[in-house]
Amino acid sequence: MERSVWPLVETIQGVSEVNEFAHLPNVNRMLLGTIDLSLEMGLDMAHPGGKSMLDHARFKLVSASGMAALSAPIDGVFPSLDDEPGLIAAAEYAKATGMGGMMCIHPRQIGAVHTVFAPSVADIEWAEAVIEASANEKSSFRFRGQMIDKPVLDGARAILAVA
């Protein structure tokens, strides 16, 4: 029985080797350890400069995952247990950077993170409609003012798979 492996990348060396990790046997997804990485690098995670530096690590994990056909990586934890608006903002930011989820350090964080990363009703409606419209098309086409081609259809299918 094969076991899925999710490497936790939380050091400078780990970030530099994500392309190698992504191609190891049984690796399905990578995790970004933002707190340990920030401490090692002397970053202030709350400052735009620190966030920018962590975005480089996010980019490396997202791009390596894409090149290896892995699931999108999971972002680090939000350390404040009593700041749900901050947690939601951090999860929205992680999603916008291509991360596929966020680690949680307390069970009460799970609901907010799931809500952010779940497709919205509008996303699901759009995905269903664009897939239905594509049934009569042979190549790229216009749908609701947007050009639709294979990558966009793949994205719509991904939304429906998650939903």
Rounded to 10 deg, the angle between the 110-117 and 84-96 helix axes is 30
Q: What is the pLDDT of residue 138?
A: 83
Which alpha helices (DSSP H) does 68-109 contain, by range? Answer: 84-96
Distances (CA, A) of 33 to 12, 62, 89, 102, 158: 11, 14, 18, 10, 26
Contact yes or no for 28/70 (Cβ under 8 A)? yes
Residue-wise pLDDT for 106-162, tens only, equals 999 999 999 999 998 999 999 999 999 998 888 898 999 999 999 999 989 988 988
The model carries a pTM of 0.85
Contact yes or no for 12/41 (Cβ under 8 A)? yes
**Ordered domains of the chain (ranges, CATH):** 8-117 (3.20.20.60), 121-162 (no CATH)
